[in-house]
Structures are given as C-alpha cells and as structure tokens.
Structure 1
C-alpha cells in the first residue's frame, strides 16, 4: 500500500488496555480512583511544603517539584483515557496525539532529572554538611530545576519534530492507552531508521547519565556513612535517603520492567499493560512513600489537615 502523509487529517485509534466492553467500567473505576489519589496526595505534599517553614529546604523544594511533575505526568494520559471510555471512542487527532506525546516526554524527563537532583542534594548534605547551605542555596535549586525542565522540553520537541517528518498508512491503530513514542514510530510507512537511532541515543544519554549520577551519589553517601563512628548518625543518614532511594527504585524498576517485557514478548497489548507501572503507579505511590518514611513530612501533613479542619469549622460558624 502506498504511504501517504496524513499530518493534517490523520486520526489515530487508541486501543486501550482491553477491547472487552464488559471490562471498561472496571478499568474506568480503577484508573479514576488511581488518578484522584495521585492528584490529591501530591497536592497535599505541595501544600505541606509551602505551608510549613521547616520544610523550606532544598530537599523538600525538589520534592514539591516532583509532586507537581507527577500530577502533570498522570494528567497527560489518564484523563484522556477516561474520556475515551465514557465517549466509547478511541479516536485521537494527529495533533492531539502529538501534543500528548510531547507532554509525556517532557514530564517523564523532568521526573528523571528531579530524582537525580534529589540524589545530589543528599550527597552534599551527608558528604559535605558544613558547606551544604552555601552550595545548595535557593538560587541554585531554582536554576537546576529550570535547566532540567529546559532539557526535558528540548528532548520532547526534538522527538516530536522528527515524528512530523514521518508518513503514515491507513492502519493507524495504537495498541496502547496513550500516544507512546515507540508505538507511533512503528505505525509509520516511511523510513524510521533515524527516529529509532535518535530514540536509542537520547534515551541512553538522558536516562543513563542521570542514573549513573544517582549511583555515584549513593556510592559516595554509603562510603561517607560507613566512616561515621556513631551508630545513631549512620541510622539518621540512611533514613534521610530511604524515601528517595525507594522512589528511585520504584521509577527505574518499573521502566526497566516495561522494556524487558517488550523485549521478551511480541504482544503490544501486554506492553501497554506493563506501561501502567511507570506512567500511573509511581506518581500515585511517591507521596505515600515520602509521607510514611519522612517524620518531618508526617508532622507537616498533620498540621495541614488540622489547619484545614479548623478553617472549615470557622467557615461553617
């Protein structure tokens, strides 16, 4: 079949997680619940950091940005999926698919960079405690966050511009619940060699280098902590890193799990189900991990909830 460029008029069909109509209400209820939990819990984290002066530190500044990124990451995929289930429609316009693809790449990249910045923050706090406040000043934290957003945005725009040059055939079905880069490239009728090389190279650089940075930071942290004479000091140092390490393990573990599952199975539908593990689950669980493992965050959330109840009571009176 002759390839034709459908840049303006094309529509993609998102096949979702299952074509079984009886499962659609269950999928809708499950993902709506997960999305609401993600938004509410991450909003609580952001409000707690803003309202409690004890949390006005670089670590919690990065955490609040991570929570914001988690909300945006989930909001780029889940609401559109829920609307499609309600409308009983799977169609998404070419421009809509490209916009979703771009935002997914932006916030996925931002998540990776923020996790790396949080590891660097813990490295400076534990290995160079006397210079911590000088090095990790507010201006540097803002600049690092903005630079991370800039890098992830440039990466997303680069991939989206490359997709714009592709031509698509009549079969426009994406076996996924959102417009995922690899799946969109697979539908192209034109040569995709350059796109695939770019995906491999950029993912290796923007995914591998931050991971190596996290590993290096924790290698230095562990080396520094083991030299501490006090057992209590060792426990305190490790406890401050526990939440971040859990979040890093969750995010990278689910991403690697998806890539491994896509490599060992030919089923795109199984890959789509596995993709839920890194697009929906980490943003939902991250605030639980931090609120359970961080004593300061627990206290801040308690204060926020008590204050909210008090203001609500005053309003009713």
Structure 2
C-alpha cells in the first residue's frame, strides 16, 4: 500500500509517501480502503514525538486517527460490516504506528460506524476525533437542556462541531469565542460570537447579563482561555478542557482525552443526516501533500477541518 510515514520525529519534512506492506486483518478488524483521512493537531504532536510518554511508537510510523472509506475485507469475527459498506472511524489503537494517512487501514470494529448518508467522504472524515471530542466534553460537563454553553475556539475543528452538538442536546444559548473574521460563520452555526482575548470574562458578562456566568465552558485551546474558565462558569466541575490536565484538574474542572465510541459516531452521523450537523472543511490535500497540511494546521486559525485524500 501507499502511505505517508515518518522514520524520525521532527518538522513536516519528515513525512514522505512510501510503499509499505498491506495491513493485517485481524479477527475483529476490517480492512478499509481510505477515501479521506482527517488531519488533527494530535497528528503533528505525534510527528514531533510529544506522545512518546503516553503510547508505544514504532517506525515507520503512519500518522492519522480519522478515516472515511469503504470496507474491502472483514475478519471472521466481524458481523456488523461487510465488503462495500461505507464507514467512518476514529482508529486510535494501543500503539502508534499504523494510522490513516494511507490508501488502506486495518480498523478494529470498536472504532467504526457506518458513514452518514448525507456526507461525502471528505466531510465524513472530519467527524470522528473532533465530533467525539465535542460529545465527550459536553457529557463530562453534564450539558443538557436549558444550559448556556460557552465554547472556546468555536470556529476550529472541534469547536464548530461542539457548537452544533450543544444545540442538538438542548442548550438554550451557545456562545463561541473566535476572531472577528469568523463571527458570521459562528452565527450560521447558531452560536453567539464573542471575540477571544483580553477581558473575556467582563465582555462575556455584558453579553449574558445577570451574574455574568455560563453553565458550561468547553476549552479546546488552552492558555488564557483555560485560565479564564473557572471565573465564567457557575460550577467549577462543569468546565472541561482537552488541553492541560494538571491545570484543569487543579481548578476543579474535568479533563477529557477522547476515546473511540461506535454508538456516539453513529449518533453524530444521524445528526448530519437530520441537518443538525454541518462539517466545515477548509481545505483538502492529496495524500502526498500531508506535510503541507501539517504546516497549515500548525500555523493556526483553521476554520473547521483539513482533510487528506489518497489518489
């Protein structure tokens, strides 16, 4: 198979298109022909070697945990998928080596769901990691009907989905922080935009009135946003971050590291089919231009998702 892989950690230039052995198909695994692979910040963290303390890493290393594609073969214990099925997956395994930046990937069934009928492969590939992160942070915060939810970095890959999912879960108001250039985009998604930066708690208080606090705060950016979160949420345990576990836990909040969940992936696809979830793809890149996609992502300010497409 063809795959983008690295043999040493470093800058985007360590990524190259290589010819590697086809994946092995285990008893509870399906072989997926990759039609699109989502690009996420964790991918460049892996490329830089930042996750070596969390997972075993093996070279050559193919990055990528998001996939949308077509089942080509299924292991003998697999009952829910058959060749020809269109699937999506958050294919995170217990070690880092055989990712989704490839034309084929072996995916454990626990990581998969059937693809939304209404989304093309590129947009479907933007859902798994980002959508599951949004769902799981909202659940960790106990978000539900009538809540006022604040989403930090609301125009990004996770944030723009979290805005819509919070609405689908019954939030009465969703407020999203973003640069002014993304305010209209947030309005299209149903959020009230708020410019990030200095004096955020004071400006939020002006927007919401009353005691100037929200019920739920979701942090997808860290830094000042995470520092501000305890002061803007009514109950400390209802602010959740994916960025800095030590800090958010010391503040009394919750830390989330997304895990595969087939049922949640299925539900996200249903939201898309019902017109409740729009997946914004800023740009697609051919697989061999994965390094260019990493440069764009690391430069920041991506609206929605970046996606790779094999030839």
Q: TM-score, normalised by structure 1?
A: 0.22
Structure whose alpha-carbon radius of gyration is higher:
1
Between structures 1 and 2, the one with greater helix share: 1
Structure with a larger share of its residues in strand:
2
